[in-house]
A = this chain, B = another copy of it.
Amino acid sequence: MTEIKEQSIETFLDELASKQATPGGGSAAAVIGAQSAALTSMVCNLTIGKPKYIEVENDMKALLQQSEALRIELTGMIKADVDVFDKLMSCYGLAKETDQKKTDRSEQIQIVLKEATLVPLECAKACAQAIKLSRVAAEKGNIGVISDAGVAAMAGYSALKSAALNVYINAGSIKDKNFATEKLTELEQIIKGADVETEEIYQIVKSKL
């Protein structure tokens, strides 16, 4: 099967819109997060090497390394979301004719639900990082493409909040309440202040247009 990242944008949108369960919001969040990282990279690539921005050259090079690593990570998460969803669905499809099979099925579901919580949690973390990187681009990047840093911030924010929804869903079905509470607390720490930070970056960008 073709990996989603190898599909055309048009095909991806068609499949997103279709009644197939995947790709869904989790993959969309990863794609949007990857766009955020890519736009920060774009600002770096259009700042590095310009005499006018020689003073921030090293900062921009360091930022580019981080944004490119993040872009690779987020691009990988497009598939991770689909994989864990499929794994969860196949657990739900396990046999339950006997009490033993019911117990086995339930245990398997619980194991995969933890994984299905960690995948979007990692995505949320990466998106929070994408927002932080966009701030550096907004503050130091080439003013001629500064709006792209603003788009990077907005994309990172919406992807973060989108990934969070998948954490809430899966954590909600986990019986190991310590695990669930720990992951939800971690998520709240990641989300906390992201709205204010995104709006700040947006206003930095807007003030430079």
Give the size category of A's interface with B: 35 or more
* Binary contact track A156-185/B, C-beta < 8 Å → 1, others 0: 011101100110110010000000000000
Q: Interface SS of chain A: helix, strand, loop or mixed?
A: helix
| Interface check A147, CB cutoff 8 A | yes
User: How far in angstroms is the closest Cβ of chain B from A190?
Assistant: 15
User: How far in angstroms is the closest Cβ of chain B from A135?
Assistant: 15
Is A39 a contact partner of B25 (Cβ separation < 8 A)? yes
**Residues of chain A whose beta carbon lies under 8 Å from any beta carbon of chain B:** 4-10, 12-14, 16-19, 21, 24-25, 28-29, 31-32, 34-35, 37-39, 41-42, 45-46, 67-68, 71, 75, 78, 145, 147-148, 150-152, 154-155, 157-159, 161-162, 165-166, 168-169, 172, 202, 205-206, 209
